[in-house]
Amino acid sequence: MTLQIYNTMKRNKEPFVPLKEGFVGMYACGVTVYDLSHIGHARALVVFDVIYRYLKYRGYTVTYVRNYTDIDDKIIKRAQEEGVTYREIADRYIKEFDYDMQLLGMEKPTFSPRATDHIGEMIAMIQALIDKGFAYEVDGDVYFNVGKFPEYGKLSGKNIDELNAGARIEVDERKQNPLDFALWKRSKEGEPFWDCPWGRGRPGWHIECSAMSQKYLGTTFDIHGGGMDLIFPHHENEIAQAECASGKPFARYWIHNGFVNINQQKMSKSLKNFFTIREILDTYHPEVLRLFLLSNHYRSPVDYSEQNLAEAQSGLDRFYALLKDLDEMTGLNPGSALQSLGERKLVEELKAFSDKFSQAMDDDFNTAEALGHLFALTRNLNALVNQKKKFPTFQLAEGTRALAKQQFRVVGEVFGLFRESPQDYFQKQRDKGLAAAAVSQEEIEQLIKMREQARHARDFAQADAIRAQLLEKGIVLKDTPQGTEWTTKSS
């Protein structure tokens, strides 16, 4: 199946045909580094990380660019509040961002440019726009003249006349059109600045991404993306200034992910209804957050709630529990024949899984459907694995086990999951649970021993009381033929 991508510009899915066969250039707008990133940011970051991984899985050589906006009004405001330089703020939060990305298991982009390292390219683009009559300078500020670009609004579908009529924009008499946007801003007293032909100042936000994307990917490249909130005005303005400066098409495919909502509102710092990535990872394993964000199609909104995160936790636990069982099924006869009709059917399902996975991902990166196939496969694998647990003489062929683990490796490589051994994963879950329960492992084991003694003495009331005591602390007991096992509620 040919990879189909929903192109925001065309408002429908279309076959993906890169400019150069076998190669893909992709730019995703990064974060403004003035604070810790929240899970609304994480949604876009995980989406484009998976797209990057899948394109490589399909055999493309991908140049992936994700920038840092390290000069901005919010950065300057934060620096002034703390009495430090804008550079100190930017450096601090780039470091924090990179740490979050490491925790989330993100693949590093090919290039991670900082805006302030590309001021020269921005000045050159602005000068080209002035020379061609698309921009004008007023008192050290430079504006793009929206009226000179007839195609303005083609990405968002907005009409210039309607925008002008309903624009809630602070009136600036110096502008030729209320919608004209800043390419260069004259620096105020105490603000950072760079020298340029129009005096000391700094770039506008939109020009940064146009300049950086074309610097690393060329005048025209394959994929540009970000959150839906960037469609207008950011991406619309990027298109206008880039295409007017070069006279050539800008990005060919536009990809936009949906929001993370809480109480039916977009999660954002401006609404003060956000949770930082760091806050979530204090409680949940990083792969839980990834699984939660990938459980919906990237263009659909995803609703944040403790229940939805707990469901993602439970799903990830099921995957890792199966991988643990497969790891422990050692000593199988490599040459043994398949033991049952159920196993023969399972082998056929395992062989078909790769095609199902690719078909889902080729349909506009449908991670939700792909995960649905993985959950179905997990249910069927568990049914067969449980036979071996109940009947020691039952054997699962080594080839079946190896094929199952290989399919999980494929999903893991694309989705950024299953990066740990099951033993390490469950130990981390237990550690988090113990910390939350404020109980030591030694205390748990002592209470389990006391419960075993009570059961042996047929004092079942005492045994039940100990179980309830542990459950109140968040510790769940499970009696098995091999003895009593315990887990935490979060694991």
Please check whether the two domains, 4-280 and 308-419, share a CATH topology: no
Q: Which two tokens stand for residue 127?
A: 């000068």
Instruction: Give yes or no for residue 20 having a pLDDT over 50.
Output: yes
Tell me what the mean pLDDT of segment 32-50 comes to. Answer: 96
| Lowest pLDDT segment from 303-307, 338-342, 431-435 | 338-342
pLDDT at 440: 73
**Choice between 217 and 158, residue whose per-residue pLDDT is larger:** 217
Among 189, 184, 191, smallest CA distance to 76 is for 191
pLDDT of residue 464 exceeding 60 = yes
Confidence of residue 81 (pLDDT cuts 50, 70, 90): very high
308-419 fold: Four Helix Bundle (Hemerythrin (Met), subunit A) (1.20.120)
pLDDT-derived band at 201, boundaries 50, 70, 90? very high
User: Strand 260-262 to strand 251-257: parallel, antiparallel, or no bridges (unpaired)?
Assistant: unpaired
336 pLDDT band, cuts 50/70/90, is very low
Cα Dmax for the chain:
93
Given a contact cutoff of 8 angstroms between Cβ atoms, the answer to whether 176 and 145 are in contact is: yes
- Residue among 182, 157, 162 at smallest CA distance from 254: 157
Q: Which of the two residues, 14 and 472, has the higher pLDDT score?
A: 14
Q: The whole model's pTM is what?
A: 0.88
Mean pLDDT on 289-308: 95
Contact call for residues 226 and 31 (beta carbons, < 8 A): no
For the CA atoms of 245, 248, 249, 250, the dihedral, rounded to the nearest 10 degrees, stands at -40
pLDDT at 97 > cutoff 90:
yes
Residue 462, pLDDT above cutoff 90:
no
Domain 4-280 in CATH 3.40.50.620: yes
- Mean pLDDT on 52-77: 97
pLDDT at 398: 80
pLDDT at 45 over 70: yes
Who wins on pLDDT, 260 or 334? 260
pLDDT of residue 433: 67
The full set of domain ranges for the chain reads 4-280, 308-419, 424-488
Q: What is the mean pLDDT of residues 400-419?
A: 95
Which pLDDT belongs to residue 343? 78
* pLDDT at residue 319 in the model: 97
Q: Which residue has the higher pLDDT, 343 or 309?
A: 309
The chain-wide mean pLDDT, for the chain, equals: 90
Q: Among candidates 120, 84, 100, 86, which has minimal Cα distance to 45?
A: 100
Residue 274 has what pLDDT? 80
Note if the bond before 233 is cis, omega within 30 degrees: yes
Closest CA to 242 of 124, 324, 357: 124
**pLDDT mean over 2-20:** 98
Q: How confident is residue 171, by pLDDT bands cut at 50, 70 and 90?
A: low
Determine the average pLDDT of the residues in 198-210.
96
> What angle separates helix 205-217 from helix 119-131, to the nearest 10 degrees?
100
pLDDT tens, position by position, 421-436: 999 999 888 777 666 6
- Please check the confidence at residue 362 and state whether its pLDDT lies above 80: yes
pLDDT band at 338 (very low <50, low <70, confident <90, very high): very low
pLDDT per position as a tens digit, 247-290: 999 999 999 999 999 876 777 666 777 899 999 999 899 999 99
